[in-house]
Structure 1
C-alpha cells in the first residue's frame, strides 16, 4: 500500500472537508490503486466509506473492476447497486454493457 493510498483512506474515514479531500486524493489515482480499493471495500465496515470506495472502483474505469461491479449491481442496498450501475456505465466495455442489459431485462420482469 502506498503512502498516498493510506493517506487518502485515513482522511476518508474522518469527517467533513478531510473526508472530501481523502476521496479526491484517491479519485485522482483510482486506476493505479484498483486492487487496494477492492480490498479496502471488502474489509471496510463503515457504510459511507464503502459507498465511496465502490464509487472509486467504478471511477477506475478498469476491466478488472467488472466482477465487483456486477456483484453489487443487484445489491439490496440501493447505494451499492447505484454505484455499481454507474461504474458499469463508465466502464463501457462489451461485458459491462451485457451486464447492464441483463440487469435491466431481469428487473423489467419483477
Structure 2
C-alpha cells in the first residue's frame, strides 16, 4: 500500500466534506494501480455509506477485470446507490462478462 493510497483513504474518512472530496480525487486517476486495496477497503467498510459509494465508484474507474466480482455482486444490492455505481463500473469495464452481468440485471429489473 502506497503512501498516496493511505493518505487519500485518511482524507476520505475525515468529517470535513472538502477533505473527503480531495481524497477521492487524489485516488481517481490512480484507481487502476490500487484496485485490490480498493476492493479490500470496500469489503471492510460497513458504517460509512458515502465512503462505500465512493470506493465502489473508484473500483469501477479502475476498469480492471479484478473488479468484476465486486461490481457484479453489487448489482444485486438492495441499495440503489451501490447498484447504479456498479452498473456504471461494469459499463466502463466493457468486457463480455460485464455486459452479460448488466444484461441479466436489467432483465431482472435491478437496473434500468
Q: With the length of structure 1 as denominator, give the TM-score of the two structures.
A: 0.94
* Superposed structure 1 runs of 4+ greater than 4 Å apart: none
Q: Any stretches of 5+ residues in structure 2 without a counterpart?
A: none
RMSD of aligned residue pairs (Cα, Å): 1.1
Q: Any stretches of 5+ residues in structure 1 without a counterpart?
A: none
SS at match of 2:109: helix
Q: Which residue number corresponds to residue 12 of structure 1?
A: 12
Q: Which residue number corresponds to residue 55 of structure 2?
A: 53
Matched pairs, number: 108
Q: Distance between the aligned counterparts of 2:108 and 2:83, measured in 1?
A: 14
After superposition, residues 56-95 of structure 1 pair within 5 angstroms as 56-95=58-97
Q: Which residue number corresponds to residue 35 of structure 1?
A: 36
Q: With the length of structure 2 as denominator, give the TM-score of the two structures.
A: 0.92
